[in-house]
Amino acid sequence: MKTKLRSPVITLFLLVLSIFTYQPPTVLAQGSLTPPGAPAPMMKTLDQVEPRTAITNLPIIISLGGSYYLTQSFAQNFTSDAITILADNVTVDFCGFTIQQTNATPTIVGVRINATSAIALRNAVVKNGTIAGFAAVGITCLGGRNCCIENLHITECAGGINFQAFGSAGAAGNTFRHCQFTDNTGSGLTILSGASNLANTIESCESVNNTTGFSLAAGGNLIIGCRASSNSINYTIAAGNRGGAVILPAASASAFNGSTGDLGTGTTDPYANLSY
């Protein structure tokens, strides 16, 4: 009996069909579809970016550099300075809170920045809050270098801010900006005399209803974009300083009273809005 042979075309068709219809004998596992857990945070926290130390009690003496912040307002009878900074590279952020002295002790200040007599204290920053009621000044600094005081309101103290040399360490290169001084019995802001107290900048500050608005007894400093009004003396500016875009008071008040040299008084800006 003869065997009937398939045509080559049919054989080829069957081969192609078997390839496309082939099913593997087993299926590989694809793993669990259940998520492993909640997504981890991808952003760093503020404490990871800038580690900070909370200030929960006052008074405090800060002797290590770093960033510190208030957690609340403090209104109490301070028997020592509320905040003392004794180290370089310290930032104190009030975070909008207030430090208020409730008992007028004439030697106690709100913030003391204190160098040694030979080495300047550098890069202290105090910002964002209110200092009130101190029978000494709100902030005093001896020998500060490249410090920054900003966004502070100092009120009802014996004075606002006082910067001066300490021994051979001059108060130099410091910046005061966006600060307000009101109802203080002394000057709103004072830079004391001394050849090493120079290159300080007072910018965009306001002084109202103090004895003196701004007092620059040392030369070589800049006051720019500031306003003084309703003070007994609005400005006392020594020779060698510069004033830029300073807002002058009414014609009946003293504008600039020079402590040295023939600087003139009245409402004429003797510095013609010069700046460094």
The pLDDT value recorded for residue 261 is: 32
The pLDDT value recorded for residue 49 is: 63
The pLDDT value recorded for residue 204 is: 92
The pLDDT value recorded for residue 118 is: 86
% of the chain with per-residue pLDDT over 90: 55
Q: What average pLDDT does this structure show over 19-41?
A: 64
Q: Is the pLDDT of residue 136 over 70?
A: yes
Three-state SS annotation for 92-159: EECCCCEEEECCCCCCCCCEEEECCCCCCEECCEEEEEEEECCCCEEEEEECEECCEEEEEEEECCCE
Q: Is 173 left (phi over 0), alpha (psi -120 to 50) or beta?
A: left
The pLDDT value recorded for residue 252 is: 31
* Parallel, antiparallel or unpaired: strands 121-122 and 90-93: unpaired
Residue 118: which residues within 8 A CB-CB, separation 6 or more?
Answer: 167, 168, 169
Q: What fold does the segment set 53-244 form as a domain?
A: Pectate Lyase C-like (2.160.20)
HSE-up of residue 75 (Cα within 13 Å, Cβ side)? 6
Report yes or no: 155 and 182 within 8 Å, Cβ to Cβ: yes
Report yes or no: 145 and 173 within 8 Å, Cβ to Cβ: yes
Residue 235 forms beta bridges with which residues? 214, 256
Report yes or no: 92 and 68 within 8 Å, Cβ to Cβ: yes
- pLDDT tens-digit series, residues 36-80: 767 767 776 666 666 899 999 999 999 999 999 999 999 999 999
Taking every pair of Cα atoms in the chain, the longest distance, rounded to a whole number of angstroms, is: 139
Average of per-residue pLDDT values in the chain = 82
HSE-up of residue 165 (Cα within 13 Å, Cβ side)? 13
- pLDDT tens-digit series, residues 217-274: 888 888 888 888 888 888 888 777 777 666 554 333 344 543 333 333 333 444 433 3
Neighbours of 26 (CB within 10 A): 5
CA distance 233 to 268: 15
Closest CA to 231 of 256, 253, 208: 208
Q: Is the pLDDT of residue 123 over 80?
A: yes
What ranges do the domains of the chain cover? 53-244
Closest CA to 58 of 98, 26, 19, 7: 98
